[in-house]
Structure 1
């Protein structure tokens, strides 16, 4: 089975929360890593998501460290939607 990893940067304008992370995260840019595997037996290349992770600054006192935390893609979408619909400062 073939795997691929996609990386993208998402931006949040407001402090936000994502289910599975026990603290509020600051506004800013966050790297999202998505692992996908091929779906075998098709006549065209097709991939399915098997993992979504977000890179966040470490919890205090380890602020200089980075953590890779596994999250749900749905929870990420929900956080982006809430951030986009929040009133602009």
Structure 2
């Protein structure tokens, strides 16, 4: 079975919370990686998300002393982004 990782950037205008992380994260741009696997046996190419990761700290932090790649729930990330957009409007 084939695997791939897709990369995106999540922008938050305000501090936000995600389950499994201690306390709120500051506003900023965060690198997001999604691991996907190919669904075989279908008539066209299809991918299934199997994991989502956020890179900490945010991109604006230059040369951080430490960095982390933390597994997060994709739906929780989408909901946090939606709330951020609604609050910014």
Same fold flag (TM > 0.5): yes
Give the aligned CA root-mean-square deviation in angstroms.
Answer: 1.3
1:2-81 pair list within 5 angstroms: 2-57=2-57, 64-81=65-82
Tell me the matched-pair count.
Answer: 83
Deviations 1:30-87 (A, max 9, x none): 0000000011111211100000000012xxxxx6211111001100011101111114
The normalised TM-score by structure 1 is: 0.87
Deviation at 1:23, TM superposition (A): 1.8
Aligned to 2:61: none
Gaps of 5+ in 2: 58-63
Instruction: Find the aligned partners of 2:88 and 2:73 in 1 and give their Cα distance.
Output: 25
| TM-score for both structures, normalised by structure 2 | 0.87
Where does structure 1 lack aligned partners over 5 or more consecutive residues?
58-62
